[in-house]
């Protein structure tokens, strides 16, 4: 199942009332005086949060632990929080994340290689993004989404951030399906890592409008590195993290490009010589990102639906998802 991706927040450049102060997260490093005036109200991120909560409630309703006992012959008397009746959780020994059975998750759209590839249930690549293994899993993803997504949506709008979220989630699931052929996977970790990737590429493509660039990029890279390290623990789907991050990183060059600093103001002054809206390196990165994004998705999907198992051609790749130690193994 997908892993939890907790992220942090930071203070704005004008939070202390002074310009040029040291910041924490890169999305607050813009050196644009009237940035706050151009912020829009975030609504797609709250809508995604609500949708995730509603979906988990529907899943628990279908799961109906007191009647089905998890769908595998288990005892209904062992349901956790039985006072919730139909919405009670599976026994903690089966699902410690306070959620439904794996049987229910698989039935409602969890990512499963056999069904996705051989039964051509491609819709699982999208449906599994909205499923969560339990309340704890859901809360971790919601907190990450709020910390990462709200500010991005305020700056770039719901269309671009919503697009990055969905495509990155699918990209993470595609890579996950290519390398993990056993078990099921659910969660929005790939989509969340896509937003992190988009933040990094946005920093690179809009480099000239940032102040304190070194602190911005080092902080973001540290956040990504820590989460990828967490991803090598058992039961965490690091391939979804990596695939989502790559898709979001490329999409950031395409969707989060900003005009040159002061371009709008120069256009309003008719006596000023017209200049290009974007710098040359921004356009080059835009073209390269589109090519890599399209080629990557086409090749990956063709490999997936041909039943290619990526782990067979790359024996060491399994260590990107789990590193065995004396404390745990990386079996099924």
pLDDT tens digit string along 44-102?
999 999 999 999 999 999 998 888 764 444 455 688 888 888 999 999 888 888 999 98
Structure-block tokens of residue 278? 């974007």
pTM of this prediction exceeds 0.85: no
Cα separations (Å) of 239 from 165, 170, 178, 220?
Answer: 16, 12, 9, 20
DSSP tag of 94: T
pLDDT digits (tens, 9 = 90+) for 315-329: 777 777 777 776 666
Residues β-bridged to residue 89 = 80
189 is catalytic: yes
Residues 175-180 have a mean pLDDT of 90
Please check whether residue 141 is in contact with residue 48, taking contact to mean a CB–CB distance below 8 angstroms: no
CB 172 within 8 A of CB 187: no
The rounded distance, in Å, linking the Cα atoms of 249 and 6 is 18
Q: Is 120 annotated as catalytic? A: no
258: CB partners within 8 A, 6+ apart? 205, 206, 209
Burial (Cβ within 10 Å: 0-12, 13-18, ≥19) of residue 261: middle
pLDDT tens per residue across span 194-251: 999 999 999 888 887 776 777 778 878 888 888 777 777 666 788 999 999 999 999 9
- Catalytic residue (one of 68, 132, 137, 241): 241
Q: Are 90 and 103 in contact (CB under 8 A)?
A: no
Catalytic residue among 189, 270, 300, 329: 189
């Amino acid at each position: 199942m997908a892993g939890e991706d907790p992220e942090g927040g930071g203070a704005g450049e004008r939070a202390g009332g002074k310009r040029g102060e040291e910041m924490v997260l890169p999305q607050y490093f813009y050196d644009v005086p009237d940035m706050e005036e151009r912020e829009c109200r975030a609504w797609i991120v709250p809508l995604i949060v609500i949708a995730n909560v509603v979906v988990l409630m529907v899943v628990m309703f279908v799961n109906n632990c007191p009647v089905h006992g998890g769908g595998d012959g288990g005892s209904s008397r062992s349901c956790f929080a039985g006072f919730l009746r139909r919405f009670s959780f599976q026994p903690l020994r089966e699902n410690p994340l306070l959620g439904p059975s794996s049987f229910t998750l698989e039935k409602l759209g969890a990512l499963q290689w056999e069904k996705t590839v051989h039964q051509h249930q491609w819709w699982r690549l999208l449906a599994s993004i909205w499923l969560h293994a339990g309340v704890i899993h859901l809360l971790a993803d919601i907190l990450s989404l709020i910390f990462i997504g709200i500010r991005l949506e305020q700056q770039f709008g719901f269309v671009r951030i919503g697009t990055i979220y969905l495509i990155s989630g699918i990209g993470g699931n595609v890579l996950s399906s290519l390398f993990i052929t056993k078990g099921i996977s659910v969660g929005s970790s790939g989509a969340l890592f896509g937003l992190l990737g988009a933040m990094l590429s946005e920093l690179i493509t809009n480099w000239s409008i940032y102040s304190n660039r070194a602190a911005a990029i080092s902080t973001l890279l540290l956040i990504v590195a820590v989460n990828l390290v967490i991803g090598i623990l058992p039961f965490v789907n690091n391939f979804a993290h990596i695939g989502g991050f790559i898709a979001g990183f490329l999409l950031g060059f395409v969707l989060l490009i900003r005009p040159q600093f002061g371009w709008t103001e120069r256009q309003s002054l008719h006596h000023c010589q017209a200049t290009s809206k974007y710098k040359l390196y921004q356009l080059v990165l835009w073209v390269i990102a589109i090519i890599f994004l399209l080629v990557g998705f086409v090749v990956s999907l063709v490999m997936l639906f041909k039943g290619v198992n990526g782990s067979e051609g790359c024996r060491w790749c399994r260590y990107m998802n789990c590193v065995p130690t004396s404390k745990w193994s990386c079996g099924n």
